[in-house]
Structure 1
Amino acid sequence: MSAHILIRDGSPHWWLSADVWAVPGNDPNGAPGTPVSGQKAYVWAHVDNIGDADAQNVRIDFYWANPAGQMTAGAVNYIGSGYADLPADPKEAMGQDVLCLVPWAVQIVNDGHECLLAVAHSPGDSNPIPDPLPASYSFDPPAHDQIAQRNLTVLDASKMASMLRIAVNGLPRQDRRVRLTAEFGGELDERQLQRLGLARLQLRPAPKPEVQVRLSLEPRCGGQSDGEKAPSLAVIVPRGATVPVYLDIQAGQLHPDHYQLLHIVEHDDAGKPLGGVSYVVIPQGKENRL
């Protein structure tokens, strides 16, 4: 008999987990929403034990990172931890919402568009992960039920004058070549909309791409990029390094009643997805109603 800790991945991409969310402001029990740069936020995770043995004093570690595809332990920032006793729940009927006991001081970097990770450690887990995590450890949520990632940000179309930055992280001992691609489409379920604070806006998913995307290795003044300007970009990352990629989103054609789900997906040479960052682009001025 053993415990099996679960923090559910997202769908259709694992980095869209609805089991990890933030509450902006000073009240951890307030409404979920988008963190604000320079202000406090609280981070939560919904954690379950689908094994056949109870799990005592499970520790959930919370991290934030600059937007990136594949992430390693050495490239993320520890926020704090929360704890829970989880009875066996093979049918996933219970679970607990676990609060990170330390508030997250949201950084100004990238205007607060950051990624969140929740990692559960339990001594009796049937699929344990290292504790502590070595700096070279690559987070792989699909392979580990106790790891979940939330790389999902709300963007107001009126606030995209500056370019967004995505980090492509290198491996510690060898160079790597990856390709970033922009993918459109998909729909957020009701739980995701609630977690993002978007449910009240009553927006519909765009039925086709309504925003334009450019990826580049070099920025320039005015939010326009030099270099390759396309929804796909090859990147060579020296070992131990991080290469910034710049994302330019133009949303002037977005319908006022639609939202556009945009995924920037990192692939290896064989085309296997390694991770990604997703954005919900909403019409101009809608953010003021959140």
Structure 2
Amino acid sequence: MDELLSQLFNFTDYGQLLALVKNSIIAGAMLGLVGGLIGTFVMMRDLAFAVHGISELSFAGAAAALLFGVNVVAGSLLGSLLAAILLGLLGTKARDRNSITAVLMPFGLGLGILCLSLYEGRAANKFGLLTGQIVSVDDPQLTLLIGISIVVLIGLFLIWRPLTFASVDEDVARARGLPVDRIGIVFMVLLGLATAVSIQIVGALLVLALLVTPAAAAMRVTTSPLYTPLLSVAFAVISVVGGILLALGGGLPISPYVTTISFFIYCVCRLIGWARAKKGQPGRRIERVRVSA
């Protein structure tokens, strides 16, 4: 047991190792901000399953890029955008979206596994696409990641109010004349970009811990349109940055640490919500979302 604990949490020469993951910490904080904000709309629009489908196509694109020796982030972006656009165009209804996602997931995963099987480079590169790598973010990748994250944040800012309206009550938003379908496609593109950059840190298999779980936890304790995204961002940043700092000690993939922290936060939020409901004082204060058309 002691040997296992020392492997999981080994902080010998921790200060020297910390300098090696400066880029990953910056990237993790940025992804926590992006993931926390966009995850709020993922939950509101019931797109958690779609995130997994997009991540599988993103993984396939990254694996193909690795095989052919081109930029992995570019391959990941291409796969994510392809899946996001397909879901945005064809999956306007939840039933259609789920069926399309179920078709894309095995195709993307199978294609990615094929590319990794043919790849003859380092095994760490293969494993990192699935579970994340703690020191995989170099300066060019960090610059690209920050640039894409800024694009996602600006896009969310520009469509925040109509997207909120369309997410809360699509029929009323459509009756008010909002271009609900176009807003949905734009959001799916932003989600695809966020998924692609998240894979570089937490890996394709566990991207839900960044884009879904923090927002789901926040919604267990509040439905305020202000506090929900703020709490979601806080939970996401704590999960990613905390996971990186813990993983550094053990020299293991960061994804188990990130997912464990994220799951612990979710469990605590569920307990808080359950305790408040038991006392007859629901902790989630419902506020009317007022959005002008």
Q: Choose between structure 1 and 2 for higher RCO, CA contacts under 8 A separated by at least 6 residues.
A: 2
Query: Which structure: greater helix fraction?
Result: 2
Higher strand share: 1
Q: Could you tell me the TM-score, scaled by structure 1's length?
A: 0.24
